[in-house]
Amino acid sequence: MPALTNVITLSLLHPVDKTPVQSWTFEKESVVRIGRSVSNDVVLYSAVVSRHHVELHQTPDGWEIHNVGINGTFLAGQRIEKKAVQDGLVIRLARSGPNIQINLVSQTRGMSSIHALIAKQEAARKSS
């Protein structure tokens, strides 16, 4: 059976209506860095975002968030330093900074996303 990889999509959410205004998808990276510096994978120009603010690490168990910024990373108003990522999770960079939604897709290597989705739906249908 082909190996699975987790594709991660990060979406910057509109500050008022919480709809995505920009998204980034990473299919092969094991670490994704977010911050104000241009050396990051996702660059956000906000005064409250640290130059190197947060890192997402792919582990054997899935993705983890690691706060590396001095202004903190928040989940539901609570500061976090390290946290396992679940699909749809929304983090805030600093107390008043931008919101980022994290979406995860398990994908079979060598297959397109749509083929992986169809395969997943067929497997679910067969098991029911």
Q: Residues 16, 23: contact at Cβ < 8 Å?
A: no
CA distances from 42 to 55, 61, 82 (A): 10, 23, 19
Token match 């992986």: residue?
A: 116
Domain span at residue 108?
A: 4-127
pTM, two decimals, is 0.79
Number of structural domains (the chain) is: 1
Which CATH number belongs to the domain containing residue 96 in this structure?
A: 2.60.200.20
The tens place of each residue's pLDDT in the chain, 128 residues long, gives: 344 557 999 999 999 999 999 999 999 999 999 999 999 999 999 999 999 999 999 999 899 999 999 999 999 999 999 999 999 999 999 999 999 999 998 755 555 555 555 666 666 666 65
